[in-house]
Amino acid sequence: MIIVRKLIKRFGLKAVLRGLDFQVEQGEFVALLGPNGAGKTTFLRILSSLSRPTLGEVQIAGYRLPAQSAAVRRKLGVVSHLPLLYGDLTAEENLRFYARMYGLESESRRVSEVLELVGLTPRRRDLVRTFSRGMQQRLAIGRAVLHDPEVMLFDEPHTGLDQDACVMLDQVLSEVAARGRTVVMTSHDLARAADLASRFDVLSRGVIAASVQRSQINPNDLLAFYRQAVGDGKAPASAAPVTMEQPA
């Protein structure tokens, strides 16, 4: 579903991604872990066609980036730590607006379905700026699944949420994954990643430094696995992955 080969991204002279290889099969839920500055957000922005790769090959659902970016965007749902919602519009108006941007037919029906999915039907006519952070994030997920995308990208979706909101978000994330979508989620929260993901990749210094399937690691060992992959934070991470299993 997602194939990335030798991906390089430079901002001026600074290389953020340095020949990254990454592959995700349909229906997988990959947690992309890594320290601040590792390049997780940059990587997700390239996958979501918001940023152009400097070099390398990116394919999503059979379409190449950046050449076929509009076709890729139709297959993608993206949730970042910002809600991408308009505070002066109601929840329903926000979804209706994005439904039009995606050219959806029968938009009213779909908007109602999505509001129900994220549990915001009772607040559908309230302005988004009156919503709590957790409600905004649920609506942001609603916006991202509006066109029923095959691939979902989550960029630290738990950032700024309290515990209750995180639990609610996890329920929505589980439901999204249960529908067979391919999910890539960046996170600093190993415990939440362990609960949700089917595979854990560690991105460090611009490459995938390690990768392991959930079935092959005890969740209690995830922190040790992560630390081993990231290294001590001074020496560059090994170019050779410390993988228990390489992605196919």
Partner 1 sequence: MTEHTAHLARVPGPLRLFWRALKAIIWKDLAAELRSRELLSAMLVFSLLVLLIFNFALELDAKTRSTVTAGVLWVTFAFAGTLGLNRSMATEKDRGCLDGLLLAPVDRSAIYFGKASGNLVFMFIVEAIVLPVYSLLYNTNLLYPGLLLVILLGSIGYVAVGTLLASMAVQTRTRDVLLPILLFPLVIPVMIAAVKASTGFLEGIAMVDIRPWLNLLVVYDIIFVAVAFMVFDFVVEE
CA atoms within 13 A on the CB side of 86: 10
- In sequence order, the 6+-apart residues with CB closer than 8 A to the CB of 139 are 83, 85, 91, 94, 95, 118, 120, 128, 131
- Tell the smallest beta-carbon distance from residue 222 to partner 1 (Å): 30
Q: DSSP secondary structure string, 34-65? A: --TTSSHHHHHHHHTTSS--SEEEEEETTEEE
Which of the ranges 97-105, 157-165, 191-199, 202-210 carries the binding residues for partner 1, by CB under 8 A? Answer: 97-105
Rule CB under 8 A: choose which of 15, 21, 113, 238 binds partner 1. 113
- 126 lies in the binding site for partner 1 (CB under 8 A): no
By CB under 8 A, the residues from 182 to 241 that bind partner 1 are: none
Q: What are phi and psi of 222, to 5 degrees?
A: -65, -35
* CA 47 distance to own-chain centroid: 9
- Tell the smallest beta-carbon distance from residue 164 to partner 1 (Å): 23
Rule CB under 8 A: choose which of 51, 186, 204, 243 binds partner 1. 51
- 8 lies in the binding site for partner 1 (CB under 8 A): no
- 5 lies in the binding site for partner 1 (CB under 8 A): no
- In sequence order, the 6+-apart residues with CB closer than 8 A to the CB of 235 are none
Please identify, using beta-carbon distances, which residue of 186 and 211 lies nearer to partner 1: 186
Rule CB under 8 A: choose which of 1, 31, 40, 45 binds partner 1. 45
By CB under 8 A, the residues from 128 to 187 that bind partner 1 are: 143, 147-148, 179
CB 237 within 8 A of CB 205: yes
Kindly state the DSSP code that residue 191 receives in the 8-state scheme.
H
- 62 lies in the binding site for partner 1 (CB under 8 A): no
At 227 the three-state DSSP class reads helix
Count of residues near partner 1 by CB under 8 A: 40
Please identify, using beta-carbon distances, which residue of 1 and 202 lies nearer to partner 1: 1
Please identify, using beta-carbon distances, which residue of 82 and 239 lies nearer to partner 1: 82
CB 111 within 8 A of CB 99: yes
Q: Which residues are near partner 1 by CB under 8 A? A: 45, 48-52, 66, 70-71, 73-74, 76, 78, 80, 82-89, 93, 97-98, 100-106, 109-110, 113, 127, 143, 147-148, 179
